[in-house]
Chain A
Amino acid sequence: MSEAVAPTSLSAKLTFNWRALTPLLLVAPLVLFLLVFYAFPVMAMLLRSVAEPTWTLSNYVALSGDSVFLHVFWTTLRTAIAVTAGCLLLGFPVALTLARPGRTASIALIVVLLPFWTSILVRSYAWMVLLGRHGLLNEALLTAGAIDRPLRILNTSIAVHIAMIHILLPYMILPIANVLRQIDPSLARAALGLGATPFRVFREIVLPLSMPGVAAGVLLVFVLSLGFYITPALVGGPRDMTVSMLIAQQVDQLNWPYAACLSTALLVVTLAIMALFQFAFGVGRALRVAER
C-alpha cells in the first residue's frame, strides 16, 4: 500500500515544481538575451570608468572639476527642463481634447500618433529643412516682408527645443489623456451642478485628478530628454552639446574611460530622478489608480 502511494506523491511533487517554473521558463530566453547583449556590455562599459588605466576613482574626481563636463551637463538639464515644460503646456490641452468622446478626439489621436510612427531621424532632418537659413520658415517670413535678413534659428538652442518638443509631445499627451479619460464624466457634471464655474471645475476637479498622468508624462519626457542624441546633434549648435553628444564624441576619440564616466553619471542622475518621482508622486501607484 505504502509502496503504491510513494510514487504518486513524488510525481505530484514534480508536477507542482514544473508549474512553478513555467513562468520562469517562459521569460528565460529574453532574460538570457538581455544578459548577454545588454547587461554584460553595459557593465563592462561602466567598469572601464573605474578600471582604466588602473583600478581608480580618479576619472570621477576629474569629472567633478571638469568645466566642459559641468557646462554640458547644465545644458542637458536646462534643455530637459525647458522641453518638459514646453511639452506639458502644449500637450495638456491636446490631452483634454483626446479625452473627450467624439470624432474630434479620433482625428486628434491620429494627428498625435502619425508623427510618433515616423523615424526620429526623418523628423529631425525635416526640422533642418524648415528652420535653416534658406529654410521654409525664413523664406516665408522674407516673402511676407516680416524680416529683412534670414533669422538664425537652426543650430541654436531654440531649434533644439522646438524639435525635441515636437518629437516628445506624444509621450506627454498619451499618459495625460489616458488618465483624463478615466475620470468619471459625472464628476464634472456634479461639480457644475453644485455651482462651480467651468473654470473652477477644471481647477478643482479635472486638474487634481489628472496629476497621476501629468507626473507620468513629465517623468517620461524628462528622462528621454536627458539622453536625447540625434535631434540635438542635428539641429543644435556647438554650444548646445548635451551629455549624450559628449559621450559619442569621446567614444569617437577612443577616450573610453571618460565616456564610461559620463555614461555612469547620466545613468545615476536618471535613476535618481525616477526615484524622486516615485517618492514624491508615487508614479507607480498613480498609474495603478489610473488603470481602474
Chain B
Amino acid sequence: MPIGINGAVVSLWQLKKDFGQVGAVRDVSLEIGAGEFLTLLGPSGSGKSTTLMMVAGFETPTGGDIAIDGKSVIGVSPHRRNIGMVFQNYALFPHLTVAANIGFPLKQRGIGRAERDRMIKNTLDLVRLPGYGDRYPRQLSGGQQQRVALARAIVFNPRLLLMDEPLGALDKQLRESLQLEMRRLHADLSITFIYVTHDQEEALTMSDRIAVMNEGHIVQLGRPEDLYDRPCSRFVASFLGESNFLPGVVHSFQGDSIVVADCAGTMLRAVTPSGNEPAVGQKVVLTMRPERMKFANGIDSPNCNRMRARVTEAIFAGERCRYLLAAPDGTAMVLKEPSGAAVRRRAVGEMAEITWSAADTVVV
C-alpha cells in the first residue's frame, strides 16, 4: 500500500458549462490539495455533478480550465486521465465477474495476468470482500456492489478518486457504515477524493473541506465545522443542518465583530462574517442552531442572548425534545433540548425565557 501523500492537486479555474441557454456551472474556481477529501455539496441542479463530470472528462467545459498536478487536462480524453470514478448506480459491467470488473482497468493498462490476480485479491481484501471474485454483480447486495465499484476505481492506484453520490441508493444504516469505511480508505490510500452529494450529514461526516454549491456557483467553501458554525448565507445555514432565522435591525456595534440587533424590542448580539459589516439601521437576519439554544435556568452567563418566547408545540423525539416557539414578533423558531429525567418538559402555551451564546448567532 502507498505510504505518504499520493494524491493529485486539482485546480479548477473559472469553470463554466452551459447546456444550451442554461448555465449548469457558472463560475467555479477551486484549489483541491493533495490527499484532501473535498465534498461538493448542493441540491440537485446546483452544478455539482456537472463539475465532477468535467473533472472526469465526460463533459467538456464551456469556459475556464481544469488542471491536475498543474497540467491542464482540457481536451484530454477520459481514458487518458488516470482518474478513479465511482458512479451513482455503480456502473458495474453485468457480463463480467467481480474479479473481471476489478481487473478491467488493469487489463487496459497491459498488466499481466498473474500481477492482475494479485492486485485484484489485495483490493478485494481492502474493501472487505475477500473471496467474492467469482460472483457476478447481480448476485451481490447493493452495499457489496458499491464496494466492488470502489475496488474497481482504486485498483490501478489512481491519484484522484471521484465519487458521484455513491451511497445514494443505500439504506441509512448501510450508508453510515460505508461513510466510516470511506474515511478509513481515504486515510489508507492518502489520495485525493472529490465527493459529490446532496446529503449534508454525509458531507459533514467525511470531508476535510466542503464546497457548498447553488445555481452553478460555490457559495461557501470551508471545513465542516466552519460551515456549520459560520454559514455565510441563509441558503448555507438552511441547507447544512437546521437553522432559525430572526429578522432584526442593526442597533449598534460592540468591538470589531459583534453586532447588536433589535429584534422586535429584544436586543440580541451576533457575530458578522468578516468583510461584510452591516450599517446601523440596516435590516439583517440572525441565524442560530436549534440545539445551541436552551431554556434559561437562572445561572446562565450574563453575556448570553435572552429572549422571551411562547411554546407553540412540544414534540418528544427520543434523545431530545423539540419545541416550536413563537418569538415576540411572531417568527416561528425551533429549540432542541436533550431529554432526561431531570429536565422539566414545557407545556404548550407556556411563556419561557430562552438563551443562547452570542458566538452561536450569525448575521447572514
| Residues of A bordering B, CB below 8 Å | 184, 186-187, 189-198, 200, 204-205, 208-209
Contact = CB atoms under 8 A, between A and B. Distances in A.
Contacts of A187: 91, 93
Contact of A200 (B93, B108, B156): B108
B58 interface: yes
A196 B108 contact: yes
Given A200-B108, A208-B95, A195 B79 contact: yes
B94 A189 contact: no
A192 B85 CA distance: 10
Interface string B93-109: 11100000000110011
B108 A184 contact: no
Interface of B: 56-58, 77-85, 87-89, 91, 93-95, 104-105, 108-109, 152-153, 156
Nearest to A211: B95
B24 to A, nearest CB: 17
B83 A193 contact: yes
B56 A205 contact: no
A186 B105 contact: no
* Chain B facing A: main interface SS: loop
A205 B94 CA distance: 9
Contacts of B78: 189, 192-193
A193 B73 CA distance: 14
Contacts of B85: 190, 193-194
Contacts of A209: 94-95
Given A195-B156, A196-B104, A190 B95 contact: no
Given A184-B89, A193-B85, A196-B79, 17 more contacts: A186-B88, A187-B93, A189-B78, A189-B87, A190-B85, A190-B93, A192-B58, A192-B78, A193-B56, A193-B78, A193-B79, A194-B156, A195-B79, A195-B80, A195-B156, A205-B93, A208-B95
The 3 closest A-B pairs by CB, nearest first: A190-B91, A195-B108, A194-B105
A189 B91 contact: yes
Contacts of B109: 195
Nearest to B153: A194
5 contacts: A187-B91, A191-B93, A196-B108, A197-B79, A197-B108
Contacts of B153: 194
Contacts of B152: 194
A276 B283 CA distance: 80
A193 B109 CA distance: 12
A189 B58 contact: yes
B87 A195 contact: no
Contacts of A195: 79-80, 82, 105, 108-109, 156
Contacts of B79: 192-198
